[in-house]
Structure 1
Amino acid sequence: MKIQFVNVTKEFAVRGERFTALSEVSLDVREGEFLTLVGPSGCGKSTLLDLLTGLATPTSGLILIDGSPVTGPGLDRGIVFQQYALFPWRTALANVEFGLEAKDVPRRDRPALARKYLDLVGLSGFDGRYPHELSGGMRQRVAIARSLAFDPDVLLMDEPFAALDAQTRESLQEELLQIWAKTGKTIIFITHAIDEAVYLGQRVAVMTPTPGRIRDVIPVTFPTREGDLRAAPRFGEYRHAIWTLLHEEATPVA
């Protein structure tokens, strides 16, 4: 397995009391898999990514990448946030070059490599634009290109399309699938949107309300991805199954 969460619990101290964000989470992610993670607000989805990036440590349990424990941040993991987190004083090209600087790529080689990744996300010809000169969807493309530029094994995406309009969001979903097909990256994608989870994921991990646990993992397969996939009967079946899991967890037992 590429990634393993083994009985991971994360607690925080809040006003002198212990708050459990995640409780005994166990989850395996295969090499090259596109896994989506869906759950209600506050269920610990982002905390799970923080632990995987090494920005936080679990209270108990173990997180492994390629069989080795995660002990801190590393260039084997890239992350894309909901907010674009671009440097406003840098052009699109220079923002992507930042990822190459982190890998100590020689200065003379950076522009051509950065353009390669801008091309990959559909931004050929926009390398000289500053973030304020780009639309929201274009800024997110730059953020994705920057994360891809240092060639991480794992790409972590924390609701990256949540702030975009519906048309742009669907367009970027399709582009992300094309990027995944070309690069073979292992992707973990967090979302609140069930449709987005079903459309993107090979499997959908469903989380419970706080404290976050893995309620179930739903494999998603389609005979073909041609045409309007969201209108397919099987798409609706997956959507309803995940909605039911989330609804059952959210409904208190009498």
Structure 2
Amino acid sequence: MASTSKIAFERVGKVFPARGRGAAQELTALDGIDLEVAAGEFLVVVGPSGCGKSTLLDLAAGLARPTSGRILLDGREVTGPGLDRGIVFQQYALLPWRTAQGNVEFGLEATGVPRRQRAARAREYLELVGLSGFEDRHPHELSGGMRQRVAIARSLAYDPDVLLMDEPFAALDAQTRESLQDELLRVWRHTGKTVVFITHGIDEAVYLGGRVAVLTSRPGRIKQVVPIDLGPRDAAADLRSAPEFARHRHEIWSLLHDEVARAQLLEKERAVA
């Protein structure tokens, strides 16, 4: 693997013990993943349900260990969680008793940032995600989209090199989701972070990704990595109606179509067994 990659997955596999009859049963979630992510790249990963997308992100985050292969970050093997990686999940995971500012400051407290610097940095990142004026609101006083903005600000505030995002907009309505996609691209351009973004949505993958890695049905393998060329992602431009967008969308849909059919067949077989 090239040493210039920010993240390198080298023949990564993950096997889980399967629940069911027979002590020897195992579930292979990922098999032989080879993938490089360049510094500053926005890589999107798509695949059928149950193909191991979230498992891949957990391994990159250091929340789980691969059964085989290894993951390198800046040439060093990932062996556990670290402050060089920020994680944003589908569920906001905000502390309900803390304000928006208090939630953003939470990660900074753990890293020993002095109180005055914590407050200033939290305000800076809330402003970056468009939440100036909402610093003193608690999560229950914020919309779903605003809560996810707080979660993004919290992950960015301690300045990780890499942002790992597991379907962060899946629970939002379509209009809010598209608005946050534009917001995320603006933040990405501003910060230059390396982003690995998991999604089920083909449109979302094409709109956000500089490249889209398509996984097979379980066990997840890299089927193809598709470069996306839409020119500058300008929120004012209607990129989703562009012919290039439709072409990329069709290419990824075609790659996924057979895999989704295989995954559905597998589910039916398991239900009968």
Cα deviations across residues 179-226 of structure 1 (Å, max 9, x unaligned)? 000000000000000000000000000011100011100000123444
In the alignment, does 2:6 pair up with 1:12?
no
* Aligned residue identity for 1:205: A
The aligned residue for residue 219 of structure 2 is: 211
Residue 195 in structure 1 maps to residue 195 in structure 2: no
The runs of 5 or more residues in structure 1 that have no matched partner are none
Cα deviation, residue 14, structure 1: 1.2
Partner residue in 1 for 2:269? none
TM-score of the superposed pair, with normalisation by structure 2? 0.91
Alignment root-mean-square deviation, CA: 0.9
TM (norm. structure 1) is 0.97
1:243 paired residue among 241, 248, 253: 253
- Candidates 27, 33, 49, aligned match of 1:25: 33
Q: For residue 135 of structure 1, what is the aligned residue in structure 2?
A: 143
Encode CA deviations 1:120-139: one digit per residue, 9 max, x unaligned.
Answer: 00000000000000000000
- d(CA) in 1 for partners of 2:14 and 2:113? 36
Q: Runs (4+) of structure 1 moved beyond 2 Å?
A: 223-226, 248-252
The equivalent of 1:80 in structure 2 is 88
Correspondence for 1:100 among 101, 108, 112: 108
Matches within 5 A, 1:162-201: 162-201=170-209
> Aligned partners of 2:231, 2:185: CA distance in 1, in Å?
16
Equivalent position SS for 1:146: helix
The alpha-carbon deviation at position 248 of structure 1 amounts to: 2.5
Percent of aligned positions with the same letter in both sequences?
A: 70
**TM-aligned CA distance change 1:225 to 1:110, over 3 Å:** closer
Contact 1:102 1:150 in 2 (8 A): no
| Contact 1:54–1:71 under 8 Å retained in 2 | yes
Q: Which amino acid letter does the alignment assign opposite residue 2 of structure 1?
A: K
Distance 1:132 1:3 in 2: 36
Q: Is the 8 A contact 1:8 1:60 kept in 2?
A: yes
Aligned residues: 252
In structure 2, distance between residues paired with 1:37 and 1:109: 35
